[in-house]
Each structure stands twice: as C-alpha cells, then as structure tokens.
Amino acid sequence: MDAAREFYTNKNILAPMVRVCTMPTRLQAAEYGADIVYSEEILDYSLMRSKRVENHAFGTVEFVNTKENSSGFRDVIFQTIPEERGRLVLQLGTGDATRALKCALLAAKDISAVDINMGCPLKFSTSSGAGSALLKKPEQVRDIMTTLRRNLPSEVHVTCKIRLLETTEKTIELARVIEACGVSAFGVHARYVSQRPRQPAHWDLMKHVVESVSCPVIANGDVFKHEDFERIKSETGAASAMCGRAALWNLSVFREEGLLPARENLNNILKKCLEWNHTVKNTKYLLRELLIKSTGLENEEGNALNKSKTLEEIARTFEVPETLIGSKRREHLKRPCEEDALSLDS
C-alpha cells in the first residue's frame, strides 16, 4: 500500500468547520480517537499576510498576521503544535494556484496535507472564487491541484473536498479531473450546493463517484454517531469517513466507547482552551455552540458566558480551576502576537 492510500484508508476524520476546528478542538478530537483532523478553512489572503513564528513559550507554531489589529495586537491566523503534524490537514480557501502554493509552502513543514475547499457555498468562500465556486471551473481546479502536487514536497498530501454537482455524470467528470492531478485523495460532501444541512445526504450517489476513481475517497454527510463511520464506508465504498456537525455538537462522537455526557465534553474542550491560553473570543464561540445544543444560552450560565471578558471569568462560570490557564506554557515568554519588539515585517 502506497503512503497516500495508507494515510487515507480506514480513517475517522474531523471535518473542517469555520471557527470550530481551531487547535483546542483538534487536540481534543484526537484524544477522543480522530485519526485525521482538518483545520478550519483559512482564506489564502489571510495566510499570505502572516509570518510563521515558533512560540517557544508554549512550544507552538503560530502564523501571525504581520499587521496589527485595532487593539494593537497581531492576530494568530493559524496555530499548531509539532505533535499534531502527523494527522493535521490545512484547509485553504482559494481560487488561485499561485496563492494556494504560497500558502501551502509557508505551512508545509507543519502539516501532513493541504486540502482545497471546493464545497463551501457561503459568500465567505465564494466571493473570492473559492469554495463551491470552483465546482464549475474544472480548468481552474486542474491548475490549482497540479501546481500544488508538482511543487510541494512529496510527503505533503494534496487533496480537495467537493460537493455533488447537478448530475452524477458531472460529479464523476470532476472527480476524474481531480484524480488525474495526482491527488492523494479527495472528499465528497454528499449534498448538492443548494442543500441545507438538515436535508439528508445522498450516500447512494456518492457510491457512484467512489466507483468511478481509483484513489481514496473520503465520505462526508450524515455521520451522526460512531457507528456511522463504518456504515457510510460500507454503503458507499469510501476509504475513510468524515464527521462535521455531530462533532460540533459532541466531539466525543470519535470515541469507540460512545458519547460522553455533554457537560463532560464541554469541560474537556474548555480545559484545552485554558491550558493553551486560547483566545477569549474563540473559546466563547466554541462553548456557545455546545450550550446551544445542550442547555441553551437563555439561562444564568449562558448569560455569564456572554458577559465574560477573560479566560478567568469563563473558568469561574463553568467551575473549572483557573490554575489551568496557560498551564501548557513552557517558558515565561510573551506570545509572538504580544511581543512588541518582535518584527514580523522582514
């Protein structure tokens, strides 16, 4: 079995989700049993404006915006640790081969694969020619994918994630174009661009796509419980399976032993955020999404979370020890985005 097929066979995968697949989520998913974890979609222009910085205080690698935000700090666009390189996929939102390559080369030594988002129908992606805007541009798809494969180190996998086109024939045609670019695999979200998440995924149609190519295909759509990872592979013939919404609701869907109680899962994710001194903004976002699916936000706890301005306040709200905050710190140094003396313009 070649390296690409081995990497993408019989794997349970955390799907890319904007604002969700930040480092705390990815680390917790892996602890639960996820074999491969995707980053959130990162737009090419954002990553191109960043500089790779090794944060020795926490042992992290941070891609830091070279321009200050309105508060005088430099935002961290993407963050990882060396320990997750062997399972980490960077998903890019791009419609241009040159920009895609610049981003991929910037992060190549910190990831196992780069994936091009070709399925997101939201304006966030499509306005720049990325996401589902690429589905009807096979020549552009070919340019992006072949450029990446020819120029990236062979050990960095190149993939993309698509949706179903209007007909099975058109989907198969695009799938074959993608395979011919030398990709290691590609993912298929078994819904049409026009479909909403609440509408059922078309596993039967995905099966035809899988049968039309020889490279590994990752199945995505309606994986709601751990048993569904095997069921979707069995029914479609896909090499691996990917989970998104169910992981957002309760990340422990990756546990073979079964789901953890919602509060235990929330506390585990919160602890990851606190340990790594994660941003207050994204920590609040992750916890809000979990509360919406469990107890809701219209209560004392939800109100306290919304009013929180620090990690300390969030920890007190959920009765988690404040001593966890920054506990992964290895050295008493400032983070790159806080260090006034650090020049990121060179």
Give the C-alpha separation, 38 to 143, whole Å.
23
- The terminus-to-terminus CA distance of the chain in angstroms comes to 43
Catalytic sites, residue numbers: 120
Residue with tokens 């491969």: 36
Q: Where are the alpha helices (DSSP H) in the chain?
A: 3-7, 23-32, 44-48, 97-107, 123-126, 138-151, 168-180, 203-212, 226-236, 245-249, 262-275, 280-293, 300-307, 311-317
The two three-digit tokens of residue 288, written as one number: 């809000």
The two three-digit tokens of residue 229, written as one number: 């990872």
Closest CA to 259 of 224, 232, 286, 212: 224
